Structure 1
């Protein structure tokens, strides 16, 4: 059995090979997993991320679904996709992020209108790359996600444009299930490559 310790990500690779493949209906993802004493560290490559700026009616509609005006958020909101688009919405502080109480009916209508998976609201990363985030996706039946690695990968791609190549994003606090997702970006001959992952602690072993 694997349980996150503190702000740690639930490990999807427990019991798998050191370099497992994650398979979906559309592609395979390259993964890595390693033991560290009583813990496991895991990461995977989520694939390329596309980015475009967000503004105007789209941003106003999604911000309004959060009870925010367009002027209440930072000016670098964007739409990011590594499969399905979602809006990355910058909130100016962790405190303001924690206080969000979105109207899920309005937010779903806004996301459906503009073809968005949902909205990943995040605080500005500090100088160490630490941030907090909340992912709301009522359009797919998820009022709020505990941990969302794909959206954190999208944020990493966005932040790399501002010179930030390492992130640690805290999620799940509001739901009583704290987790931290890490993301690193490096450049190779094909462009930016991203890895997202985290750590988990083994608290009990059992027979399958």
Structure 2
């Protein structure tokens, strides 16, 4: 894990790790700060903006049994962050020196179970995403987003759908890999549409149904992230959607190839008393990533 210093002479030390690697390669560079209670939110925004990564996780270990983790981009705070959770839990395991930890994390007003296990190629982390809200398919307000992506309705493999583990985003199925990789969004227009609809962004994917694998791209310019290398929460949302529509909620999604940083996120959705829930997993590489 790389070590850098936050802005200012007395800034807290931070770690930068590659979250959601694929076969020991790539992953999303993610900053993890063992939080200093004296930091203000303005200072957290500044650290996130200066770190050179898309997301920063601030971990409060003052209650060690259940650490509280908050997530920031350079433009604001997020309620949840899937690959940020995976990165934070890997750093906590690394700091402890243990080989495995079964614990909990508090983020976005909820406490959920986490698992971190040391492997030869990194640290494997799983977490419980919670209930995922799934309004009916065929959401009528997705037209502006489809146009902002530069897509036509004929490029879609099925209806779009809103999914929300707390923050809604639009799931957009396209016909094939070629269509997905050819997307060149109008980021300003997409940001405006997502803000108008109160969406985090849009998760565009193409599936290979026989193997329950697929590829995806996550566009979230409304929160300052034009394209995410990995978006674990959206993979959980997709798993929930697939369980609801096909009865099979197991999925392995590849992202980041077009950004020269291949990533992989696993998700498994099941039915629970309160609705569909998902469990999300990824591996954090222990070698120093590119970045600051």
Work out whether the TM-score is over 0.5.
yes
Aligned ranges 1:7-18 → 2 under 5 Å = 11-12=86-87, 13-14=89-90, 15-16=92-93, 18=101
Structure 1 stretches of at least 4 aligned residues deviating more than 4 Å after TM superposition: 7-11, 188-191
Equivalent pair of 1:7/1:170 in contact (CA under 8 Å): no
Aligned to 2:189: 106
Structure 2 counterpart of 1:55: 139
Which stretches in structure 2 are left out of the alignment for 5+ residues?
2-16, 29-82, 94-99
1:38 CA drift (Å): 4.4
Cα offsets for 1:41-71 (capped at 9, x unmatched): 1110011000112433x12111000111223
- Equivalent residue, structure 1, for 2:198: 115
3-state SS of 2:134 partner: strand
Matched residue SS, 1:101: coil
Alpha-carbon distance between aligned partners in 1 of 2:271 and 2:156, rounded to the nearest angstrom: 30
Query: What's 1:6 paired with?
Result: 25
RMSD of aligned Cα (Å): 2.1
Name 2:256's counterpart in structure 1.
172
Residue 65 in 1 paired to residue 152 in 2? no
Are residues 137 and 203 of structure 1, via their aligned partners in 2, closer, same or farther at CA, if it must alter by over 3 Å?
A: closer
| Cα shift readout 1:114-161 (whole Å, capped 9, x = no counterpart) | 221110001123311110111101111110111111111110100112
Between 1 and 2, higher relative CO (CA 8 Å, sep ≥ 6) is seen in: 1
Contact kept, 8 Å, 1:40 with 1:201, in 2: the verdict is: yes
- Give the TM-score, by structure 2 length: 0.64
The answer to whether 1:144 aligns with 2:227 is yes
The answer to whether residue 174 in structure 2 is matched with residue 97 in structure 1 is no
Give the distance between the partners of 1:109 and 1:191, measured in 2 at CA. Answer: 31
Which residue of 2 is the match for residue 85 of structure 1? 168
Over 3 Å counting, the alpha-carbon distance change for 1:187 and 1:93 in structure 2 is: same
Moved more, 31-40 or 149-158: 31-40
Between structure 1 and structure 2, the one with the greater Rg is 2
Question: What secondary structure sits across from 2:163 in the alignment?
Answer: strand
Consecutive unaligned residues of structure 1, counting only runs of 5 or more, are none
Structure with the largest fraction of helix = 2
Question: Which residue in 2 is equivalent to 1:193?
Answer: 277
Contact 2:206-2:214 at 8 Å conserved across structures:
yes
Verify the 8 A CA contact 1:60 1:69 in the aligned structure 2. no
